[in-house]
């Protein structure tokens, strides 16, 4: 993956409100310190109230946000994670030549300017959302996603009441309104997940599960012909502007590690990968040389960066 950016070239991405829309925030009663994003769509009939909808575009559609791709997004989850305890910072693994497909010189994409020390769990304290849920604890992430899931729910339920009465739930248990307790219980029962790596502190939490809103995943990836760090970050930004709840980075070839770091530090949505793509690059594309140690090292590398979910071919 060639990178045409000079070391001093600033990276810019698309920002600004979506058409006929305004970015606002709501504060959940359970934790007023949280700022849950809402997209307010203005209707052509000014007599009608704006329509609130789920917003996964991050600060890129907030005209009051100062976007600096070189510094990355704000990291509010870092405080949440540390306040709960059970984690410690550590040095982490060093970036190796094979992490970027052995790219060197002009072919090596520049590193993200800042390095955040990764966190890891210590002792028997819970650190994942599943562990907290099964311990009966409600996290800020659970409160956050409950507020997101409720946007426009009252109006939608009122309009759909007759249809719902005649429908078949197929075993789904849909409450009138989503509460943090309901979120916790669904996660504890294994029916929902909040993909949220403790090392992806820029993340705005979201939930995936049968009793929650449908989510959209967008696939992006570098090009073997022509790609740059700027283009890959811009792909992520455009994906979330148009409604992607999660983004899967399917990059192959050179510069996978550095590209992923830029994306993660600027991503307000969960980022996923297919680790075997990078693992194969580490062994020069020879499957016969791919063993567990190489694959494990790749998983650790990506977890330390903050990757939230994996596709693992078995």
Question: Coil, helix or strand for 296?
Answer: helix
Q: State pLDDT tens for residues 187-230.
A: 999 999 999 999 999 999 999 999 999 999 999 998 666 678 89
**Section 44-56 average pLDDT:** 93
Q: Pick from 149, 214, 203, 213: which is nearest to 181 by CA?
A: 149
Say if CB 199 and CB 303 are below 8 A apart. Answer: yes
How are the residues of the chain apportioned to helix, strand and coil, as percentages rounded to the nearest 5? 35, 10, 55
Task: Decide if pLDDT at 7 tops 50.
Answer: no
User: pLDDT averaged over the chain?
Assistant: 92
Could you tell me which residue, 135 or 175, shows the higher pLDDT?
135
Q: Are 276 and 283 in contact (CB under 8 A)?
A: no
pLDDT at 153: 72
pLDDT > 90: percent of the chain: 81
Residue 313 pLDDT exceeds 90: no
**Confidence (pLDDT) at 176:** 82
Alpha helices (H) in 23-135, listed in sequence order: 76-84, 129-134
Q: What is the pTM of this model?
A: 0.92
Instruction: Tell me the per-residue pLDDT of 295-304, one tens digit each, with 9 for 90 and over.
Output: 999 999 999 9
Question: What CA–CA distance (Å, rounded) separates 293 from 312?
Answer: 15
Question: How far is 14 from 105, CA to CA, in rounded Å?
Answer: 29
How far, in Å, CA of 219 to CA of 263, rounded? 13
Kindly compute the dihedral angle of the four CA atoms of residues 214, 219, 220, 221, in this order, to the nearest 10 degrees.
Answer: 150
pLDDT given at position 68: 95
∠ CA 118-198-18 to the nearest 5 degrees?
A: 115
C-alpha angle with apex 38: 204 to 305, nearest 5 degrees? 15
Q: What is the pLDDT of residues 168-199, one digit of tens each?
A: 777 777 788 999 999 999 999 999 999 999 99
- Residue 164 gets which letter from DSSP? H
The residue with tokens 């429908």 is 167
pLDDT digits (tens, 9 = 90+) for 259-291: 999 999 999 999 999 999 999 999 999 999 999
pLDDT for 151 equals 84
Lowest model confidence (mean pLDDT) among 112-121, 131-140, 149-158: 149-158
Q: What is the pLDDT of residue 203?
A: 98
Cβ neighbour number for residue 126 with a 10 Å cutoff: 17
């Amino acid at each position: 993956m060639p990178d045409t950016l000079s070391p001093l070239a600033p990276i810019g991405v698309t920002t600004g409100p979506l058409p006929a829309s305004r970015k606002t925030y709501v504060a959940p009663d359970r934790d007023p310190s949280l700022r849950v994003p809402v997209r307010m769509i203005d209707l052509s009939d000014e007599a009608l109230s704006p329509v609130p909808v789920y917003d996964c575009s991050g600060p890129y559609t907030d005209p009051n946000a100062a976007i600096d791709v070189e510094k990355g997004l704000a990291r509010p989850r870092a405080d949440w994670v540390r306040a709960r305890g059970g984690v410690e910072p550590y040095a982490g693994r060093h970036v190796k030549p094979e992490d970027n497909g052995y790219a060197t010189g002009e072919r090596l994409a520049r590193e993200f300017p800042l390095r955040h020390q990764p966190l890891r769990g210590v002792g028997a304290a819970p650190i994942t959302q599943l562990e907290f849920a099964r311990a009966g604890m409600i996290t800020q992430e659970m409160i956050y996603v409950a507020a997101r899931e409720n946007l426009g729910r009252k109006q939608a339920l009122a309009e759909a009441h007759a249809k719902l009465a005649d429908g078949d739930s197929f075993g789904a248990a849909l409450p009138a309104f989503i509460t943090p307790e309901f979120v916790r219980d669904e996660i504890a029962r294994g029916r929902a997940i909040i993909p949220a790596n403790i090392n992806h502190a820029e993340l705005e939490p979201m939930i995936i599960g049968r009793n929650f809103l449908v989510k959209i995943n967008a696939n992006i990836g570098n090009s073997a012909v022509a790609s740059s760090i700027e283009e890959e970050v811009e792909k992520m930004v455009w994906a979330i502007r148009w409604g992607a709840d999660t983004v899967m980075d399917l990059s192959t070839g050179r510069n996978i590690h550095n590209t992923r770091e830029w994306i993660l530090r600027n991503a307000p949505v969960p980022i996923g990968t297919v680790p075997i793509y990078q693992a194969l690059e580490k062994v020069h594309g020879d499957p016969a040389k791919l063993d567990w140690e190489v694959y494990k090292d790749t998983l650790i590398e990506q977890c330390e960066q903050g990757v939230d979910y994996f596709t693992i071919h078995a």
